[in-house]
Amino acid sequence: MRQPLQSDPPQVGPAGRLPPGATPSVAESVDTATLDLLSLWQEEDATADPAQLRAAEADLAAFMKNLTEARKASGEPLVYP
């Protein structure tokens, strides 16, 4: 059984950068920490190497084919028709 936290977890994102006692507005509710992390990952994975691009495209095609076959077999609507 999980034990309750003894203190509040640290704030991540815009709320964690606000001064103590301040409350975020609706406009600041965007999770910029997650967007920053996704941008970093995109930069790290960026490549212009034709071999890597072909391998990534082949992986994506195989994923889409397998997903389509599984959904057809189960009678689910197709994601990639």
- Domain membership of residue 3 (yes or no) is no
User: Structural domain of residue 54, as residue ranges?
Assistant: 48-81
Q: Which of 39, 37, 41, 46 is nearest to 13 (CA)?
A: 37
> What's the pLDDT score for residue 2?
53
Q: For residues 4 and 41, give the distance between their C-alpha atoms in angstroms, rounded to a whole number.
A: 33
- Domain membership of residue 8 (yes or no) is no
pLDDT in tens, 15-71: 556 666 666 555 556 789 999 999 999 999 899 999 999 999 999 999 999 999 999
In a domain, 64, yes or no: yes
Q: Does residue 75 sit within a domain?
A: yes
| Residue 42, both tokens | 């995109």
Judged against a pLDDT cut of 50, whether residue 1 lies above it is answered with no
- Number of domains, the chain: 1
Question: pTM score > 0.85 for this model?
Answer: no
In a domain, 20, yes or no: no
Inside any domain, residue 5: no
Please report the DSSP string for 52-67 in residue order: HHHHHHHHHHHHHHHH
